[in-house]
Structure 1
């Protein structure tokens, strides 16, 4: 073979090898895609033969070696699936970032074959199993981020053989065992994040060999022993977080000198002791000091005021003592926002200098100390306070603070002091107040009715004071109260207002030891989440109401020391969760039930009711005697006979009435039949509606729809405002719309569905057919009016904050999910849009207008559809799913599409019919093109003005919300999200948003370990 032949052969085999290499990378990517079970944003749709694989989304190739994949970046795409082991065939791969998806299964061992790999981040997924030990073969790796997964087992000792590794992130997993000593071999390591696992044992002393270490976060584990002394000599340390372990020992007195770059010192919830080092004032970069829940003692370090960047001081729950004069120096800390010194041994008066602390202060807690005398008036200068906690001290005098200056206050705790005088009415101006504790003082006078305007209040405690007068209806009817309302041990008089029924979400109600009287109102049966009800020590009378049996979650009931009479309702025995029942010292009589809670003598107290008998032996009650006399037999016969006669007569009269009615109506046009309802409605006549709406006055019109007009009215028999929808029966489809709403709303109940109070199918004063639906009145109108400027309206729409929009979105999703999955029959709303979402006075969303609803039940796998309108395409333009009008069967995916468009509209401020959408562009595609890189271009500008400083918190949340909207409004029904998943994801976003804002506001920042913890 000559030289020329050898060259040709060489070129042939070289090209063949190159082709095979190219094919290897492409096939590896195809295998990666095949393991993805869900791609909500369609990012992998470009992974097809029409494009070269180097042009696929998220794929980058080498410049020096074309067609060799060097980077795979698919962050935050909602991908669901497992990670293909064929990723190990991408031998030129240097960068892999798959964080914030839903990958599951094990991390494939084949990743260990990627010798060129430098950056591997798989954080915020659901990977499980062990960390592959052969990751140690990736000798060029400098960042390994596996944070927030479900990994188990030990941290591999072999990771210590990664010489170039700079950042190691393994936080928020289920790892166990010890921190391997080999970690000290990684001389390049700067960032270590092992937080929130189940690690045990001691912190290895070898970690002190890492002379370039900057971040060490190993909190929330089960570590013991002392912090290695060498750690306090690594001058490069920026963050030292070993909180929430079982560590002990003391802090070196020269820590502020040996760690000059220290920014965050987090030692909370351990067993440290000794004094707080004075030298901390030399660490000029210090921002956070969290030493709470330890055994620190001695004096407060007086010179912390020299630290210009100090934002948070939390020394609570220790044994520190001083005279509080150090507050004078803290007034120099212009960045200070959190000061928590609760549960220590401070014994002094509050200095006036507390009023000169940073204007940005949001959290002050001096609870559970020995502070005495009055509150300084100047504290009103701290206008941005959100948490003011002075409980459990010896503070005295009148509370003269003008609370209306604290516009942002969320929690006020003045309980367990010796305050006197009246409760300041200025508290009523705290529109953001969520928690108010003023119990165990000596306040007198009445409860300020204005507290009923605190619409975010979820917990109110005014117990153990000397308050008098009646319970204000505005307060006991405050729907936002959900945790507890405690007015116990006062001198309150009068009955319990019927407005107590508005506390539908309340868990604990305590009105004990007052001077209340009357009967328990039946409306208390509406408090369906009530778990603890304490009414003991009052003067209530009458029988124990049967309506208490509606409180299925009730665990504690104490109505002892009252004047209740009659028998114990058997229905109390049906409350399965009841574990404490006290009926002592009343005037009850008759047989004690022999089931339920009454079978547990230790859970029931019946002392002081001389007329009771029977029950289990342990209750030690006399036997019940029931003599059978003729008189009793006659009485029983009468009790049986009379109802039978009455019912028979009633049915006969009713039959005659229907025969007469049918004859009279026979000549008229055929009317739709009314559905039967599982719940009994009030009977409301045309005359009552005429009076309630002032003769259907034009001034009472609050809306006009396709099938009728909605009037505002006041219904006398309910004593409440209502919305009356009068059907225009001349309009084609109106009768079917009426029937659809009746069928849909007649037997379902949900917090976020508009409640149908009654229906009226009658004749007006001129003998014409009349049909109307009566609903709860929604004070804040429709979502449409909050999002958009109405035609002819001069002013701009009222602004909704981001958290309000998110809450409304969750409310709507919850209701739709209930209609689809929580009802006996599946209900498809069919016309979801902002004008059909109504907001009550608490800004809780309620879906209404079921005129186009479809009811589908599943019987033997065959869909049975109940009456609908005759329209070919139902719904409103822009919100109707693409498949409508194409002969597709009715499906829940239609509602999902409408919800997706509605969600995008809520957060972009643009209607789907906006004039800016041209040339094939629509709301869905517009948002899809903007997320995530240009998200701020499509978001409603009013959201952007909320809080520029909080952008790092709300921008990621907005991106996630808009992606859900896009995923719900996909063109193909099968590609849309399920409403159950939508509700779950929005709840997670809300939790992340609230946690982020709380951390931001309180100065408790997320412990980022550079890029390894992001």
Structure 2
């Protein structure tokens, strides 16, 4: 009985505590949260924080045993001050996790109160907080149980005004990326006081000077110093004590000399990125093979040279190897992927000087997803054995000396999305079996010696966005089925031997393009052609990942085509649905018949180039309705009649109507008046500015009526059209040469980057 009685007393005491002793503590949680809410510039954003509810029902609140243990609010413009967070939120006695991301939090982190002893995770990222690294360390030291502190994407980095604390007690994760840290005295202190820190991210700051040695990094596993201003050589022993580090990223700095010596002491490395520096010498293969777990190796955009050693095959765990934009030479080792099971998924060797044949051993890279060998000196044929790589999505080999046919075996690549083989010496036809590659987004086979007809089955590739077959010897007619492609935004067929009419069915996809099908996130370059009779069309459009802009001069075509500008950017996904084609170049063929009026339904068309064909008939009045048209070239045809008054509403940056049979007065409003005489010369009877004036006696009533109508539309239409064009010009991320010629002059630069 005594035991039972004792248990009853204990139970009663516990219940008494839970229902009576806990109430004041819960009330304190409510008071602190309401006080924080009342300190906001707009308390209504937290309208559900009211005393009529239980505290555990407040927005963003999680509880344990009735107490507030976690508070998470993200992307809500509270406009709070850090002092209020310190006074109210950090004082919650049982708080373990606080996450206030993107809430427009301001103030200095130096104005902090003592944290609750239970706080383990504090995330104040993507706000407007100020302070120094010293303040950051003091904040971490005052929160004695804190294990993770995220202050990324703020304004931390102002000069420190007081001494650093002596240690960081329990901190394991510290993220100060995307801040304004500039002095390397800050990282010297951090490197000397790492304690049990496992994760340190200082990327995307402005840290200058040389990299200090890390004297005490026994526990460090993750270190990111990328995208800073660090320079000089990496001294021996810098990372020699970091025996447990698995992630090391020092890319996008200004390091020089050989690759970091003694890197082989970090035998547990899984990810190593040294890209975008000025490292030189040979690849440190002996150090790399000492890392059996290495999965990702990025050495791109350096000055490494010499050959790629056969021992690269000993990196058996490697999944990504990026050696692009260096000075490697010699053959691609036949030993690559000779292991019975290869882990390699991504192989980037573009923009080097590799020569010889493409090794057939690549077929052993059974997990390969992306292969880029562009801008090298490779010769021979494309191995048909690549067709066995069932996971391959990217086959990119533009600008080499490859010859022979496009292997029919590639038809087995059901996952293939990008087939880019421009600027080679490929012959034969496009294999019909590629119709099975239904995932294709981008087909680019320009500047080869391909023959035969453009396959009808291309229209069945519903995911196709970019089709570039320019500068080959294709014959026959343009397949009307291309209009069935639901995402075709870029069609370049110029400089072939195509005959027949322009299919009106090309406009079938107008208003039906599905934005989700568009190519996203691919870096590209648009080369704008100057005045040169040897090269035709609007320009060259190339995939540009892993290529130095300066190395474009290695392309023979840059010398004889007189490319005047190189515009780089990224293809984007910010198009809305129900748009139309953006780029249509059918120039330098033998096309006949009228310009289909259906083209006018392509409301988002920015470039229309039909020059150097055999087109006849009048200029369609409806072409003036293409709201976003910026470049129009109809020169060197047999077009006749008058220039429609509707053309005055077009906000054109490039226009050529020369060498036709056009007659009558040139409309005197809109962008037409901005073009020189050569845009209209060599016609049968065009007159008016910029050509000689029309003979008033020969101007018909119809002509005068047309001019009067144009005058009435006047400057208002011109302003509206111009505003619409420039506001929507960058919709897809494709940069049209003639437009950007003007923009580059305005900004005073040769290269224009457009990021999405």
Alignment correspondent of 1:239: 271
> What is the SS of the residue equivalent to 2:435?
helix
Q: 1:142 aligns with which of 147, 150, 171?
A: 147
**Unaligned ranges ≥5, structure 1:** 1-17, 594-608, 614-623, 644-749, 752-809, 811-993, 996-1014
Measure how far apart 1:212 and its partner are: 2.5
Alignment correspondent of 1:585: 682
Alignment correspondent of 2:10: none
> Does the aligned pair in 1 maintain the 2:647–2:672 contact within 8 Å?
no
For the pair 1:86 / 2:90, whether they are aligned, the reply is no
Paired with 2:630 and 2:423, the residues of 1 have a C-alpha distance of 27
> Does the aligned pair in 2 maintain the 1:194–1:219 contact within 8 Å?
no
Paired with 2:676 and 2:300, the residues of 1 have a C-alpha distance of 37
> What is the SS of the residue equivalent to 2:451?
strand
Alignment correspondent of 2:738: none
Paired with 1:580 and 1:302, the residues of 2 have a C-alpha distance of 59
Measure how far apart 1:449 and its partner are: 1.0
Q: 1:313 aligns with which of 332, 347, 364?
A: 347
Paired with 2:290 and 2:395, the residues of 1 have a C-alpha distance of 30
Paired with 1:329 and 1:95, the residues of 2 have a C-alpha distance of 54
Alignment correspondent of 1:119: 121
> Does the aligned pair in 1 maintain the 2:649–2:670 contact within 8 Å?
no
> Does the aligned pair in 2 maintain the 1:204–1:228 contact within 8 Å?
no
Alignment correspondent of 2:5: none
For the pair 1:375 / 2:406, whether they are aligned, the reply is yes
Deviations 1:851-883 (A, max 9, x none): xxxxxxxxxxxxxxxxxxxxxxxxxxxxxxxxx
Distance 1:509 1:27, change over 3 A: same
Q: 1:181 aligns with which of 182, 188, 208?
A: 188
Measure how far apart 1:581 and its partner are: 7.5
> Does the aligned pair in 1 maintain the 2:30–2:51 contact within 8 Å?
no
Paired with 2:308 and 2:668, the residues of 1 have a C-alpha distance of 62
Paired with 2:592 and 2:281, the residues of 1 have a C-alpha distance of 56
Alignment correspondent of 2:743: none
Measure how far apart 1:274 and its partner are: 3.8
Q: Which has the higher helix share?
A: 1
Which protein is bigger by CA-based radius of gyration? 1
Paired with 1:242 and 1:579, the residues of 2 have a C-alpha distance of 51
Distance 1:374 1:61, change over 3 A: closer
> What is the SS of the residue equivalent to 2:458?
helix
Distance 1:163 1:309, change over 3 A: farther
Distance 1:350 1:83, change over 3 A: same
> Does the aligned pair in 2 maintain the 1:373–1:394 contact within 8 Å?
yes
Paired with 2:595 and 2:677, the residues of 1 have a C-alpha distance of 22
For the pair 1:531 / 2:630, whether they are aligned, the reply is yes
Distance 1:214 1:468, change over 3 A: same
For the pair 1:34 / 2:38, whether they are aligned, the reply is yes
After superposition, residues 102-501 of structure 1 pair within 5 angstroms as 102-106=103-107, 108-111=109-112, 113-114=114-115, 116=117, 117-123=119-125, 125-127=126-128, 129-130=130-131, 133-137=134-138, 138-139=140-141, 140=144, 141-147=146-152, 149-151=153-155, 153=157, 161-162=167-168, 164-173=170-179, 176=182, 180-185=187-192, 186-206=194-214, 208=239, 209-220=241-252, 227-245=259-277, 247-305=279-337, 306=339, 308-325=342-359, 328-357=360-389, 359-476=390-507, 478-479=509-510, 480=513, 481-501=580-600
CA RMSD of aligned residues (A): 3.9
> Does the aligned pair in 2 maintain the 1:249–1:272 contact within 8 Å?
yes
Deviations 1:349-394 (A, max 9, x none): 112211111x121111111111111111111111111111111111
Measure how far apart 1:346 and its partner are: 1.3
Measure how far apart 1:160 and its partner are: 9.8
After superposition, residues 635-650 of structure 1 pair within 5 angstroms as none
Alignment correspondent of 2:650: 551
Alignment correspondent of 1:707: none
Distance 1:439 1:55, change over 3 A: closer
Deviations 1:458-483 (A, max 9, x none): 00111111111111111255424433
Measure how far apart 1:435 and its partner are: 0.6
Measure how far apart 1:296 and its partner are: 2.8
Paired with 1:255 and 1:112, the residues of 2 have a C-alpha distance of 48
Distance 1:497 1:38, change over 3 A: farther
> Does the aligned pair in 2 maintain the 1:191–1:216 contact within 8 Å?
no
Distance 1:513 1:196, change over 3 A: farther
Q: Number of paired residues?
A: 582
TM-score calculated relative to the size of structure 2? 0.68
Measure how far apart 1:106 and its partner are: 4.1
Paired with 1:384 and 1:332, the residues of 2 have a C-alpha distance of 17
**Greater CA drift, 77-86 or 424-433:** 77-86
**Unaligned ranges ≥5, structure 2:** 1-21, 215-237, 514-579, 709-723, 726-730, 732-754
> Does the aligned pair in 2 maintain the 1:193–1:216 contact within 8 Å?
no
> Does the aligned pair in 1 maintain the 2:124–2:150 contact within 8 Å?
yes
Distance 1:60 1:424, change over 3 A: closer
Paired with 2:465 and 2:376, the residues of 1 have a C-alpha distance of 26
> Does the aligned pair in 2 maintain the 1:197–1:220 contact within 8 Å?
no
> What is the SS of the residue equivalent to 1:258?
coil
Paired with 2:411 and 2:275, the residues of 1 have a C-alpha distance of 34
Paired with 1:76 and 1:427, the residues of 2 have a C-alpha distance of 46
**Greater CA drift, 53-62 or 496-505:** 53-62
Paired with 1:198 and 1:588, the residues of 2 have a C-alpha distance of 63
Deviations 1:255-303 (A, max 9, x none): 3323222222223334443444544433333222222223333332443
Deviations 1:143-165 (A, max 9, x none): 23234x35364697959953644
Distance 1:170 1:347, change over 3 A: farther
Paired with 2:210 and 2:259, the residues of 1 have a C-alpha distance of 8
> Does the aligned pair in 2 maintain the 1:85–1:109 contact within 8 Å?
no
Alignment correspondent of 1:947: none
> Does the aligned pair in 1 maintain the 2:101–2:127 contact within 8 Å?
no
> Does the aligned pair in 1 maintain the 2:477–2:500 contact within 8 Å?
yes
Paired with 1:268 and 1:382, the residues of 2 have a C-alpha distance of 27
> Does the aligned pair in 2 maintain the 1:491–1:514 contact within 8 Å?
yes
> Does the aligned pair in 2 maintain the 1:112–1:134 contact within 8 Å?
no
Measure how far apart 1:533 and its partner are: 1.1
Measure how far apart 1:331 and its partner are: 2.5
Measure how far apart 1:200 and its partner are: 4.6
Distance 1:36 1:586, change over 3 A: farther
Alignment correspondent of 1:98: 99
